[in-house]
Structures are given as C-alpha cells and as structure tokens.
Amino acid sequence: MDEKRYYQLAPDLTICRIVNGMWQVAGGHGYIDHKLAIEDMIRYHDAGFTSWDLADIYGPAEDFIGDFRHKLLAPRGKEELNKVQALTKWVPQPRIITRSIVDESIRRSLRRMSVSSLDLLQFHWWDYNNPYYIDALKYLSNLRDKRMIKHLGLTNFDTERMQIMVDSDIQIVSNQVQYSIIDRRPEVKMIPFCIKHNINLLAYGSICGGLMSERYLGKAHQPSTAELDTLSLRKYKKIIDVWGGWNLFQELLSTLKSIAQKYDVSIANVATRYILDKPAIAGVIIGARLGISDHINNNAQVFNFSLDKSDYDDIEVVCTKSNNLFGTIGDCGDEYR
Ligand SMILES: NC(=O)c1ccc[n+]([C@@H]2O[C@H](COP(=O)([O-])OP(=O)(O)OC[C@H]3O[C@@H](n4cnc5c(N)ncnc54)[C@H](OP(=O)(O)O)[C@@H]3O)[C@@H](O)[C@H]2O)c1
C-alpha cells in the first residue's frame, strides 16, 4: 500500500487520503450537469481518487454514487466497484429517534447509492440539548452489527460528546471536522482525544473553498460578496475574518507560495499536505465541482512532497499573529450550534 496516498481507516476500509467532497453538487456551487458529473467521477476514480464524501442531505450526491457505480459496473465488472469507497452521512432533524426512523433512513441511502452495505456512515446531530443522539447511535450500532453499515463515524461532534460515546461503549471509527492552517481548533482537545482513543479524523475546509490558492494571492482588496460565488467560499471567508482578516491572510498566502515554489507545487498542495501530516488525520476532503472545474492533476502533487521544519516555522510566524478560534468559536462543530 502506498502510505502517502492511502490510509487504512479500518481493517476492511482503506481510503485515498484525498477524499472527493460532494457537498459541491448540493446547490450553491454552480449548475451541476448530471451526465458531465458522472463522467468526471470516472476520471477521479481512474486517477486513483477512489474515495467520496457525501451525505443524505447533499442533493443528488447519493444518487450520483448509485449512477457512477452502474456506469463502472457495466464495462468493468464487480472488481472495479470494490475499489470505490463512499462515505455518506445521516443528518436527521433533532426529534425523538426510533429504531424504525434509523432503519428507514439507512435503507434509503443503501437504495440511492446502490450498495448492500455503507462503507462508513457519519452521523451528525444539530442540537446537544436534544439527548436522542445517543439513541440514534445505539440503533446505528445495531445496523452495523447487521452489516448494513460497515463502520460508524461522526461529523462535527465535539470532544465532550465523544467522551460520552466512549463512556457508553459506542464504537466510533472517525469524526469529520473543519481543520485548516487558519482553523486549528482540533489541536486543542479533539486530536489529543482521538489519539488516546484511536479515532481517526477526516478534515474539511483545508483549502478554504479555494481561497487558499494562487487565485487569491496578491489581491490587495478582499473579494466582494458577488465574487465569492460559492457557498464554500462564503463560509471560509467568514473564518478568515474571525481568524485575522484579509491582510493577514495575504501574508499567509505569500508564505505558502514561497514554500510551494520550493517544491514546485501549489499553495493548495501545501495547505493540504500541512493538514495530512497532523496526527490522527486519516484524510483531507477536497470539494469537487463535478463537470465545472477540475484540480485532479494538481491535487495528485500532494502525494509527491513533504514539508520540513523551516516550512512549519514560517507558517507559524504568520499564525501567531492570528486570533484564537477555539476561544471565539469553541470546539469542533460549535460553529453549527
Ligand atoms: N461535515 C461537514 O459539515 C462539512 C462541511 C463542509 C464540507 N464538508 C465536506 O468537505 C468537502 C469540501 O468542501 P469545502 O467546502 O471544505 O471546500 P474545499 O475543499 O475547501 O474547497 C473546494 C474548492 O477548492 C478549489 N480547489 C480544489 N482543489 C484545488 C487546487 N488544487 N487548487 C486550487 N483550488 C482548488 C475548487 O474551487 P473551484 O471549483 O472554484 O476551482 C473546489 O471547488 C465537501 O464537499 C464535503 O464533502 C463537510
């Protein structure tokens, strides 16, 4: 196994360390053409980007996985399908959760994705004041025992609630959290906790919707709301504002560019490599605007270089001037609550 490119999330689940993110097909990221999107999925797959992150609430994402699998199966056979990992989420509205609600929701995802078992089901819960998330996790664990779900993961849970799960003997493989050079909240509590309990993290927002790239380098003025034409760009621009503002972000981009030039890679590559090398990190999810834009070749560069101590030191010089996001926003996932 090429350890730079792949990661064993569980004994029977190996993923590509750059996971293709499918929030971008859910709306708010430009018009997605179904046919072009599926063709693009095949191209990602053939380039070795075989892992997908999606959710029941990401518009047609689960159906796209189903269609993509059919498109692969017909000419190439079942063996090719075994190379695909589709990591979905269940994001229910907070309410009383019964066994049949969980059962129906998981069956719907299985149907849409055309699989007999979900590789990883990542559970999200909007409201900690509603205690039914523990019931949901117990029912999901039952479905895992029946192999309808291979592995149970989380998304956007904080350390305090994960401690409750560990104390309740609920087996969790991973948590998915926002983690980038500018948002290092996971380092305060989440990463030490995950190391202690052998839980993996999947990071998103690591290139800030594309803001951490040459496209925004040297832009003296911050982009207008109209220029920030995806939900993702708007989401992470707000994080930049809280982190330290546009001028400090420019300083960071210029530091990242110097590092990128040293290795003949891109700013996005450096930002991704930085997170991939952190402890407990299984993979970085990079959003794919299927059929619209394509960074396959560039993102493949992430596997071909390593950062050295002077690179980390240079990044740290800029980051020490930033605000403490853990103090302002809180632990992982608190931005959603
Ligand atoms: N659990 C959660 O609550 C949660 C929240 C957010 C995201 N996610 C997951 O994480 C995924 C990533 O989403 P995100 O919002 O965090 O976006 P992101 O990955 O930070 O940014 C994606 C955008 O970055 C640009 N990009 C990609 N590779 C690039 C490269 N090599 N050079 C320059 N630009 C590059 C592309 O922009 P262009 O298309 O404009 O070129 C792409 O659309 C989502 O799809 C989803 O699966 C999960």
Q: Is the pLDDT of residue 1 over 80?
A: no
Q: Using one digit for the tens of pLDDT, what is the confidence trace for 157-168?
A: 999 999 999 999
The atom number, within ligand 1, closest to the CA of 176 reads: 1
CA distances from 323 to 183, 310, 314, 319, 326 (A): 10, 22, 17, 8, 9
Question: Average pLDDT, whole number, for the chain?
Answer: 97
Ligand 1 within 6 A of 268 CB?
yes
Judge if pTM exceeds 0.75.
Answer: yes
List the beta bridge partners of residue 49: none
- Average pLDDT on 89-115 reads 97
Q: Using one digit for the tens of pLDDT, what is the confidence trace for 258-274?
A: 999 999 999 999 999 99
The atom number, within ligand 1, closest to the CA of 293 reads: 39
| Nearest CA, atom 13, ligand 1 | 287
Ligand 1 within 6 A of 90 CB?
no
Rounded Cα distance between 40 and 44, Å, is: 6
- The SS3 of residue 132 is coil
| CA of residue 41 to ligand 1 center, whole Å | 15
* CA 245-293-123 angle, 5° bins: 70
CA distances from 142 to 2, 75, 101, 147, 186 (A): 34, 36, 13, 9, 29
Ligand 1 within 6 A of 40 CB?
no
Ligand 1 within 6 A of 207 CB?
yes
How, if at all, do strands 85-90 and 120-123 pair? Answer: parallel
